[in-house]
A and B are shown apart, each in its own frame.
Chain A
Amino acid sequence: MKNSKLRKSYEKPAFQVFITIWTTFCVLFLLIPLTITIINSFKSHDEIMTSIFAWTKTGAGKNFVENYKMALLGTDIKIGLYKPFLRTILLCIIGAIGNVALGSVLAYQFTYKEFPFKEGLFMMFIAVMLLPGIMGMPTLVPLIKIKLNLGNSMFGYLLPTYAGGQVTTLFLFRTFFGQQPKSVYESAQIEGANDLFIYMRITLPLAFAIILYQAVNAFSSVYNDYLWPSLLWMANQDMHTVTLVLRSNSDTWKVDSYGAIYAMYILSSIPLIFTSAISMKYFSGGDFASGMKL
């Protein structure tokens, strides 16, 4: 009697078996795309054309070198990932730093200070969320390319990204700054610290975790971004980011270097491995807003 009472309904073996099978099935299925990518990056082009699942027969090592070398360095006519990588990572880092810097300053002001027109200004920042990204595109593209002539510069991409991103960061940080212990803040004020000091020495260190989280978020969202770089730089090969290169190479390399294409996908995941690792270290458990692709 005691046993059966303790046994919850969902602990029936049949049910447990069912959910185990289902979750395993899901996991396996979800790992298929990744598996094919890894496997095929070790195969030569012809082998891939024959069968997508088979392991390589012609020597994994040799194919590995060939494919990854082409993916990274490219050839005379093909573009390797090497330069776009560096370019994109630089773009992502600057994007992340700018986003976090702007957002944290704004959040600081709105959390700790009272000033005239505070509500009005806050509304002004919030209202931007009413505007879907797509809405400004037809004007933004000629604005950046023609009127401001930033079409060939990193900042042509970054400035609009900052403009929208700072709002999301503002929201996120406001909640977290608000949770910081007020006592520290108050005692610093009594000691006569000015705002800059408090911001740099107290707020930022205390909020390090969430700042890192948002920086990683901003980094990945720039890294993954396909639409905006495509609108700006499609015609300008020297500015292509990793996403654009992936896209265009997938079309042109299909003819004779399928293996290199898959190698390319693997290589392009490396920065995201780092970002995921960082975020997982700080936030495992799925508490808030995590679990989204980082």
Chain B
Amino acid sequence: MKQGWFNAPPTEKSKKMSKIASIVCMAIFACSLILSIVLGVIYPRADRIRETDNTRFTSVFYAETDEWFYTTEQRVVRLDADNDVLEEYPLNEKAASEFGVQVGQIKDTYATPDDEYMWVATSQKDDENKGYVFKLQDVDGKLSIAGVAAFNGMYKKMLAAEGYLYVFSKPDAFTIVTKYDVKNIEQGPIAQGALYKGWTERNSVKLEKASELIILSVDVIDGYLYVLHTGGLIKMSTDFACNDYKFTYWETQNRIYESLYAEAQANLAEGETLDEKALKKEANKWTCKALGLVSYAESSDTAEVPLKDFDFNSYNYYIGDKFSGGAYVKEQGKYYIIASDTKLYSYDLAYLDDMPPEVMNIYLECDVVEGVELFAKPMTGYAALFYSPYSRKAFVVYDALSEISCLDFSGETARMEFTLEAEFDINRIVQIGDNLYYFYFNRFQTERAGQSILSVVNLQKQLDAPMYTAVLVISIILCVVSGILSLIFFLCWRREGYIQKVKLLLKRLVKNKWVYVSMIPSVILLFLFCYYPAIESIRLSFFEYSTAKPTMRWNNFENYKLIFTNSYTGEMFGNMFLFLVADIITSLAPPLVFAFMLTVMRNKGYSRLVRTLLFIPGVIPGIAGMLIWREGIFSNSGGVLHLLCSLFTDEPHLFLTSPTTTRFEMLLIGFPYVGAYLIFYGGMMNIADSYYEAAELEGIGIWKRFFAIDIPLVLPQIKYIFITTFIHSVQNFARVDSVTGGLQGTMTPIQMIYDLINESGAYGEASAYATLMFVFLFFATALNLRKQKHDSEV
């Protein structure tokens, strides 16, 4: 724009142009406003389709095209692709009426679209330690039970593969697996195995119970059964040849014991009693011999198998590092595992072939998958992985974060496809077609806690979500800018002289462009590190936010309630006030007196000497000063005060040890409180001698002069010291932290904020304290601001 344009007077043409421009801008404004609203409405969101009150959702699955199922604790519900209910099947009623079986709750389901059966596992009524597994099939569009079998233990997981059903349960300290023939589950278990942990000894393999493990995934791969759990991976043959000792032992032992018992009873002499213990020992010995075991410890069910008889291919236990979720991707031949950090790991099963032979407990060396960064899992939280083999996608959900991460396994490796904001603590998530179905337990939101909610989200729309966001942001910006511009142009058109004003403004803006440019770094720093944190702290104080639970849930004054009900609070704020009052007094009175003394000292040389000497202690860093006080002066084993006290009594007072007196002892720091005397000295030196002459003529005394002249005339300095001491005392951290660390009853709010941030990472609570401090300090900081502004303008 040339200089001339700025200076030219407004013409009719420019008025017309303003009119056109303003109309155009208003049109843009209207369009973008409508666009923003529309986008806001159709923005991809999750849909709640079902809610329950007294029961919970237990699984979601699909077995047929265009239809899907969910189960609650009592029913199996079939729905179509539009989420309309097609059938509700009350499993517990049907089980009772058709099979005479009393069912507790549905625990889980297993179904694949190729199978003709769907499997439902339940607990038994009134006995959580036993369960039923139901075989359901679709007869003319309706569900019906085709078979039922009972199993022992609390249900953990199940899998149907290659004609067999494997049910994992935990009857006691052991986790066991029970195998059924899919065609005929009524006949009962075909085989049973136990999950062992083992290690090799010189000539044998010892197997003991693998406890404390949570099963993450079970798969049948190449004819072997693999169990991925929180402690690693277990591989076993599907006939449990090397891990069925728990069952074969007791079966055989019972028979042998009975026959031994009968024999012993028959051979019992008069007056003798049966030695049951010895009999048991005998039975143990014979059973081991019969089964070919080296030994078997009955109390812990630990088996010892001779090395030559143990096939490490039929059973092996591999150690992993705190796995938290995982799945097997058949097409890649790899396990993908999430552990306790933010990375995704893969383990190629082919590596197992290279394992050293005849060894157990080998550590699985997993490979890190490059380029996948999961959310930082909170310290106490966990993450779970749900894999949909048909879409080759897995979903990672977290308990303390409301994100779902979607991983895509359809290629050669894994790729993070997207993350979406959903819910906390999702119990299960399944992809059916284009939709993502998941349910969670509504624990935290205020409406109807204890509610279980099933939601659906359209995947395709979610994948497009970034596009929606981008367009929305652009349209909002467009809306705002065009709104402002249309206003300006409107005024230019309608009001006289406005065009000139605008032109003048533009001219000045352009002329001063370098001024603005030079301020850009400062402004960015200011907003990013001063304004934003302060405002965000206020906002955060209303949220539950900490590194343990980065949930960002609206807390609604919970944090403040916590503060006010905390028994420490009174002490904390009391200490703050105590220190504040003490600091103000000690920063004003003694320094004023000291400065006064220096001004009236006749020997100016001595006065200068004193002032010079007093520069010296100022050379020690603040924290060192505090520490010297703690170590050298307060120390109870030879410190200055200790020595002083022992001059007077035999039992000198122990400093910094008592919760009642420590805070007062801390007030001694800085004695004799010379402080910022130099400021007052400077001020007093500037008082014109004429004042003093006049006063002397009136014949006033020393102290009267002090109060009547010196103090009022250094009032600006007094104000300055008062305000800055106020602000600094409340925020004085070094003093308390280095001397007592907040113990012995000396906790102050700032120490609390520091502890909350650094030690607990409880940012929400810390923000609440910080906001309270802000409110408290506001009057002081506002006064300071006014004073600074006034001073800098003078």
Contacts and interface: CB of A to CB of B under 8 A. Distances in A.
Contacts of B731: 132-134, 227
Nearest to B524: A163
Interface in B433-460: none
B625 A33 contact: yes
A95 to B, nearest CB: 13
Interface stretch (B214-222, B252-260, B329-337, B764-772): B764-772
A94 interface: no
Given A52-B639, A139-B533, A143-B533, A132 B777 contact: yes
Given A25-B672, A40-B632, A163-B530, A33 B602 contact: no
B356 interface: no
A202 interface: no
Contact of B620 (A37, A102, A139): A37
A135 B632 contact: no
B86 interface: no
Interface stretch (B68-76, B396-404, B513-521): B513-521
B533 to A, nearest CB: 3
Contact of A135 (B600, B622, B774): B774
B638 A48 contact: yes
A142 B763 CA distance: 8
A288 interface: yes
B281 to A, nearest CB: 56
Given A31-B616, A226-B733, A289-B679, A102 B621 contact: no
Interface in B518-548: 518-519, 521-523, 525-526, 528-534, 536-537, 540
Interface stretch (B6-14, B194-202, B749-757): B749-757
A286 B682 contact: yes
B350 interface: no
Contacts of A293: 618, 622
Interface in A123-150: 124-143
A124 B606 contact: no
Q: Which interface residue of B617, B699, B763, B789 has the most chain A CB atoms within 10 A?
A: B617
B691 interface: no
A34 B619 CA distance: 10
Contacts of A134: 730-731, 750, 753, 770, 773-774
A234 B620 contact: no
Contacts of A175: 791-792
Nearest to B757: A141
A178 B211 CA distance: 78
Contact of B774 (A20, A131, A167, A261): A131
Interface string B668-679: 000110101111
B617 A31 contact: yes
Q: Which interface residue of B525, B600, B699, B777 has the most chain A CB atoms within 10 A?
A: B525
Nearest to B616: A34
Give chain A's interface residue range (CB within 8 Å of chain B).
35 or more
Contacts of B610: 23-24, 27
B262 interface: no
Interface in B616-672: 616-625, 627-633, 635, 637-640, 643, 671-672
Contacts of B38: none
Contacts of B773: 132, 134-135
B619 A273 contact: yes
Contact of A52 (B536, B640, B678, B767): B640
A134 B749 CA distance: 10
A259 to B, nearest CB: 12
A133 B733 CA distance: 12
A272 to B, nearest CB: 5
Given A10-B702, A137-B770, A226-B733, A272 B525 contact: no
B785 interface: yes
A153 interface: no
Nearest to A290: B678
Nearest to B732: A227
Contacts of A10: 600, 702, 705
Given A19-B597, A106-B522, A136 B637 contact: no
Nearest to B628: A33
A247 B627 contact: yes
B615 interface: yes
Contacts of B531: 128, 131
Contact of A272 (B530, B619, B632, B672): B619
A35 to B, nearest CB: 10
Nearest to B720: A289
Nearest to A109: B515
B757 A30 contact: no
Contacts of B777: 132
Interface in A242-292: 242-243, 246-247, 250, 254, 258, 261-262, 265, 268-269, 272-273, 276, 280, 285-292
Q: Which interface residue of A140, A262, A288 has the most chain B CB atoms within 10 A?
A: A140
A160 B529 contact: yes
Contact of A53 (B643, B758, B788): B643
Interface stretch (B154-162, B235-243, B504-512): B504-512
B211 to A, nearest CB: 35
Contacts of B730: 132, 134
B758 A291 contact: no
A51 B646 CA distance: 13
Interface stretch (A55-63, A113-121, A183-191, A209-217): A113-121
B79 interface: no
B638 A51 contact: yes
A86 interface: no
Nearest to A115: B512
B678 A163 contact: no
A9 B525 contact: no
A22 B598 CA distance: 10
A288 B594 contact: no
A115 B679 contact: no
A32 interface: yes
Contact of A136 (B523, B530, B696): B530
Given A11-B602, A105-B522, A128-B526, A32 B621 contact: no
B758 A234 contact: yes
Given A20-B606, A32-B640, A136-B529, A231 B696 contact: no
B379 to A, nearest CB: 14
Contacts of A280: 615
Contact of A115 (B508, B635, B737): B508
Contacts of B613: 27, 31
Q: Which interface residue of B508, B623, B727, B773 has the most chain A CB atoms within 10 A?
A: B623
Contacts of B770: 134-138
B534 A136 contact: yes
Contacts of B763: 138-139, 141-142
Given A31-B617, A139-B763, A130 B638 contact: no
B781 A131 contact: yes
Contact of B529 (A16, A129, A140, A224): A140
Contacts of B679: 286, 289-292
Contacts of A126: 785, 788-789
5 contacts: A121-B519, A135-B534, A226-B623, A243-B623, A276-B618
Given A272-B621, A276-B615, A294-B618, 6 more contacts: A9-B702, A10-B600, A30-B672, A102-B522, A227-B750, A243-B622
Interface of B: 505, 508-509, 512, 514-516, 518-519, 521-523, 525-526, 528-534, 536-537, 540, 594, 597-598, 600-603, 606, 610-611, 613-625, 627-633, 635, 637-640, 643, 671-672, 674, 676-679, 681-682, 685, 692, 696, 699-702, 705, 727, 730-731, 733-734, 737-738, 750, 753-754, 756-758, 763-764, 766-767, 770-771, 773-774, 777-778, 781-782, 784-785, 788-789, 791-792
The 8 closest A-B pairs by CB, nearest first: A291-B678, A136-B533, A286-B682, A163-B529, A115-B512, A138-B766, A139-B533, A163-B525
